[in-house]
Structure 1
Amino acid sequence: MSQSAHKFSLTTRIFIGMIAGIVIGVLLQLLFDDSGDFTFSVFGFQFSAYSIFVDGIFSTLGQIFIASLKMLVVPLVFVSLICGTSTLSDPSKLGRLGAKSVGLYVVTTAIAITLAMSMALLISPGEGLNLTTETSFEAKTAPSLGDVIVNMFPSNPINSMAQGNMLQIIVFAVLFGISMAMTGEAGKRVSAFFEDINTVIMRLVTIIMNLAPYGVFVLMAKLFSTIGGDTIFSLAKYFFLVFGVLIIHGLVTYSILLKLLSGLSPVVLLKKMRDAALFAFSTSSSSATLPVTMETARNKLGINNSVASFTLPLGATINMDGTAIMQGVATVFIAQVYGVDLSLGDYMMVVLTATLASIGTAGVPGVGLIMLAMVLQQVNLPVEGIALIIGVDRLLDMTRTAVNITGDCMVSCVVAKSEGGLDEDIYYNEHAGEKEEDVNFSEFDKNA
C-alpha cells in the first residue's frame, strides 16, 4: 500500500466517513425533497435522483456492509469460545467467569434503568405534552426466569447457529470446548484445528474493518437523508434526556465501576473503545459489532482470549444498559403524557422487568421497542404510547448500542483482571493493536 493509504488511522478514517455521510445525507434531503427532486427518463422509464442514491446505492451498499459483519458473528463466537474454553485447565474457572460476568451485567443494567427513571422523574419530559398516537404495538409477555434458563440449552445446535441464537451457541460451544479439554490427544488435535480457523477468522475481521469507513459513510448518508429534523425537535426534551443519561452512564458509571473493581484507568478504556464505538453507532447492533469488539478487547485492551471469548458474546446478548435507559425514560415519559401516576411498586416492577427482558433478547436494531412493549404492559401503560417516541428512536438506538458495547468491554476488563487474564502492558500501551488495523492488499497481487 502507498504511504497515503496509511496517512490516517482507522479511527480517523471511520470518523471522516461518518461525518461525510451525515453531510451528504442532509444535503440530499435538502436538495431532493418531494417538490424539487430531479427526475429523468431512460427508455421510457422514470428515474429519481434521490431514489437512485438513497434507495439504490446507499441502501444496497449499507445492507452489504451490515451483512458482512453479521456473517462473522456466529463462526467468530463459536470458534473463539471453543478455543478459549478448551485451554481452561481449571473447570471451576469457567463457573467463576459465568457468575462474575452475569452478575456484573445484571448490576449495570439495574443501575442504568434506575438512573434513567430518577433523571426522568426529576426533569419530567412528558409534562405539558398532549400528543396523539396512531400506531399500535402488540406487547409480548416478559419471559420468566425459568423460561430464560431452559431456552439457553439448544435441542439442535445447528438450528441455533442458523437462527443466530447466541445464548444457545454459547452454551454448546462451552460444552464442546470443555469436552475437548478432557479428551487428551484427540482434543489437542481438534483444538489445533480450531486455533487455525480462529486465526483465519480474525484476519477476515481485519479485512472487514478496513472497509468500515466506506460502510459507515453509506449507512450515515442513508439515515440522514430520510430522518426529519422536525421529528427530533418535536420531542427534543425526551431525546436530549435519554441522550444525556446514556452519556453519563457510558462515561461516568462505567469509569467508576472499572476503577473501583479493577483499579484500571477508565481513560485508557474509553480511548481504545473509539473504533468499536463508531462501529456500534453506525450499525445499531451489538451483535454486528461483536467481531470489532472482540478484536479491540484482545489486541488493544490485552484481555486473554479465554475471558474475552466468553464475556463479550454473553454481553452482546444480555447486556442492554443503553436499552434499559431508554425504557426507563420512556416509561416515565409515556406515563406523564397520559397522566398516569405510577407507584413505587410500579417503578420497581419496571426495573425488574427491563432487567429480565434484556436477557436473551437479540442485539439487533430496534429490539428496544419490543422490550419496551413488555415493560409498559407490566405497569398497565398504553403500549401504543411507543408511537410517540418511535420517530427519534433510530438516532438514540445508535447511541445506546455504543454504550452497550462499552459496558461489555468494561465488564470483560474487570473479570479478566480478577482472573489474571489481563495483560496490563498491552492495556496501557496506546499503540497496542494498531498493526492489526491495516491489511496490505498488495499481497494479493503478488500471489495473483
Structure 2
Amino acid sequence: MKLTRNIIIGLVLGILVGIILNAFLPDLFDPIDTYLFDPVGKIFLNLIKMLVVPIVFFSIVVGTMGISDPKKLGRMGAKTITFFLVTTTVAISIAMALAFIVKPGVEGAISNTGGQEFKAEEAPPVIDTLLNIIPTNPVASLVEGNMLQIIAFAIFIGLALAMLGDRTKGLANLFEQANDVMMYLVRIVMLTAPFGAFALIASAVGGQGKEALASLAMYFVVVLAALLIHALVTYSTAVAFLGKVNPLTFFKKFSPAMAVAFSTSSSSGTLPVSMKTAQERLGISKQVSSFVQPLGATINMDGTAIMQGVATVFIAQITGTDLSFTQIITVVVTATVASVGTAGVPGVGLIMLAMVLKQVGLPLEPIGLILAVDRLLDMTRTAVNITGDAACALFVNRSEADRAAAQE
C-alpha cells in the first residue's frame, strides 16, 4: 500500500505541476521538460524495457515446468488449463471490443510520448504470423525481442525440463532462481514508479493540457468497465452453469479474499487467503483448491489481459494507428499465451504490456502515461484474477464430485 500511496502522490503532483506550467508558466515548460521530466521518464521506461525479454523467457519456462509436471497432468489439469485459456481469451476480446466501441484514445491528445516519431508498419498475413511462431534461431529471437518466438521456445524448454525430471533438476532450479531474480528486479523497478509517474504525467499535461487528462480518464473507465463486465458476466455464467452455485452467493462468500487481493495487488500474496476462503466458505475440497488456485495464480491473469487489450487499442488510437485484423489476432494470442507466465506480483503487467506492444509494432513510450492510473486498476484486476481462480476451482470441484457420484 505504501507504493500505491507514493504512485498516487506522484500522479497528483504531476497533474498539478503540469497544469500550472501549461496554464501559467508555458515558457518554463520546455527547459523543465528537457532537463527533468523527459530524462526521468526515459530512465523509468528504459528500466521497464530492460526486463521485458528476460522476464518473459524465464517466467514462461518456469510456468510451463509447473503445468507440465507429469504428476499434475490429467483430468483436473486439462479442465483447469482449458477454463483459464478460454476465460482469458474472452476477457481480452471483451476489452478490445469495448475499447474499439468507446474509443478512449484521441489522436494527438497525448502526443508527447518520448519525442520519437512513429510510423505504422504493414502487418504480415495471418498465416505468416502463425508460421513464424516457431523460431529458426532462438538466440536471434531473444536478441530481436520477437515475443511469440521467445514464448514458443520457452514452452519447449519448460516441457523438456518437466519430462526429464530429476535428470535436469539443477537446470530447472537455475531457471527458477533466474525467475526469482527477475521478480526481485520488477519490485526494484516499481520503487521508481512514483518518480516515473510524476515526470511522465507532468510532461503530458504540461505539453497538452486537459486533453491528455481526458484521454487517460477514458482509458481508466474502459478498463474498469471491461473488468466489471468480465467478472459479472463471464464468471457469473461459469459459476452458475458449471459450478451450479448462485453467483450472488459465490461473490458474497468469496468477498474477503477479493478485499485482500484489492489491497495487496498480488495474486500470489493473496493465495493463502483465497485458498482458505475457497475451502472453508465455498466448500471446495482441499485437493482441488491446492491444485487449481496456485496454478491459477501463475497462468490465470484475465485482469492483466484486459488491461493489455484496452491499452493496446488506446495507444494505437493516440498514435493514429489502425490495427489490422492480423494485429488484433496477434494481440489476443500473445496476451493469452503471455498470461501463462505472468507472475502474480504488482507491476509485472506493465512488462507484459511492453511485450504485446512490441509484437504489433506500437511504441512503448505511452506505457509511462498508462502507469499514471495503472496502480489503481492493478488493485481491481488482481481481485478479478483470484475470483477467476476460485470460479475455476468451483467448476473442477463440482465436475469431480459429479464424476465420483456417477461411478458409485
TM-score of the aligned structures, taking structure 1 as reference length: 0.57
Q: Which of 69, 73, 94 lines up with 1:115 in the alignment?
A: 94
CA, structure 1 residues 235+160, in 2 after alignment: closer, same or farther (shift >3 Å)? same
Q: Greater share of helix residues, 1 or 2? A: 2
Residue equivalent to 1:155: 169
Residue equivalent to 1:332: 313
1:141 corresponds to 2:120:
no
Structure 2 residue runs without a partner (length 5+): 18-65, 117-143, 163-167, 181-193, 206-211
- Distance (Å, rounded) in 1 between the aligned partners of 2:346 and 2:79: 27
Letter aligned with residue 76 of structure 2: L
CA, structure 1 residues 421+311, in 2 after alignment: closer, same or farther (shift >3 Å)? farther
8 Å contact from structure 1 (residues 97, 415) kept in 2? yes
**What are the superposed Cα offsets for residues 160-191 of structure 1, whole Å, 9 maximum, x if unpaired?**
776777xxxxxxxxxxxxxxxxxxxxxxxxxx
Query: Alignment RMSD, CA only?
Result: 3.5
Q: How do 1:203-282 residues align onto structure 2 when only pairs under 5 Å count? A: 235-282=216-263
Residue equivalent to 1:397: 378
- Distance (Å, rounded) in 2 between the aligned partners of 1:149 and 1:386: 30
- Distance (Å, rounded) in 1 between the aligned partners of 2:95 and 2:255: 24
Residue equivalent to 1:191: none
Q: Secondary structure at the match of 1:130?
A: coil
- Distance (Å, rounded) in 2 between the aligned partners of 1:135 and 1:414: 50
Residue equivalent to 2:109: 130
Letter aligned with residue 151 of structure 2: S
- Distance (Å, rounded) in 1 between the aligned partners of 2:375 and 2:95: 18
Q: How do 1:86-105 residues align onto structure 2 when only pairs under 5 Å count? A: 95-105=74-84
Q: How do 1:312-327 residues align onto structure 2 when only pairs under 5 Å count? A: 312-327=293-308
User: Offset at 1:130?
Assistant: 2.3
Residue equivalent to 1:342: 323
**What are the superposed Cα offsets for residues 335-393 of structure 1, whole Å, 9 maximum, x if unpaired?**
00000111111101100000111112211111111111111111111122212211111
User: Offset at 1:129?
Assistant: 4.4
- Distance (Å, rounded) in 2 between the aligned partners of 1:361 and 1:135: 30
Sequence identity (%): 50
Residue equivalent to 2:134: none
Residue equivalent to 1:359: 340
- Distance (Å, rounded) in 2 between the aligned partners of 1:389 and 1:140: 23
CA, structure 1 residues 291+164, in 2 after alignment: closer, same or farther (shift >3 Å)? farther
- Distance (Å, rounded) in 1 between the aligned partners of 2:403 and 2:294: 18
CA, structure 1 residues 149+309, in 2 after alignment: closer, same or farther (shift >3 Å)? farther
User: Offset at 1:260?
Assistant: 2.1
Letter aligned with residue 150 of structure 1: I
Structure 1 residue runs without a partner (length 5+): 1-17, 35-80, 86-90, 166-222, 424-448
8 Å contact from structure 1 (residues 133, 384) kept in 2? yes
Letter aligned with residue 227 of structure 2: L
8 Å contact from structure 2 (residues 278, 390) kept in 1? yes
**What are the superposed Cα offsets for residues 2-40 of structure 1, whole Å, 9 maximum, x if unpaired?**
xxxxxxxxxxxxxxxx9xx99xx99xx99xx99xxxxxx
TM-score of the aligned structures, taking structure 2 as reference length: 0.62
Q: Secondary structure at the match of 2:366?
A: helix
- Distance (Å, rounded) in 1 between the aligned partners of 2:288 and 2:250: 17
8 Å contact from structure 1 (residues 276, 289) kept in 2? yes
263-272 or 318-327, which moves further after superposition? 263-272
User: Offset at 1:93?
Assistant: 8.9
Larger radius of gyration: 1
Letter aligned with residue 223 of structure 2: V
- Distance (Å, rounded) in 2 between the aligned partners of 1:115 and 1:361: 20
Q: How do 1:25-36 residues align onto structure 2 when only pairs under 5 Å count? A: none
1:307 corresponds to 2:288:
yes
Q: Secondary structure at the match of 2:169?
A: coil
8 Å contact from structure 1 (residues 303, 422) kept in 2? no
CA, structure 1 residues 164+325, in 2 after alignment: closer, same or farther (shift >3 Å)? same
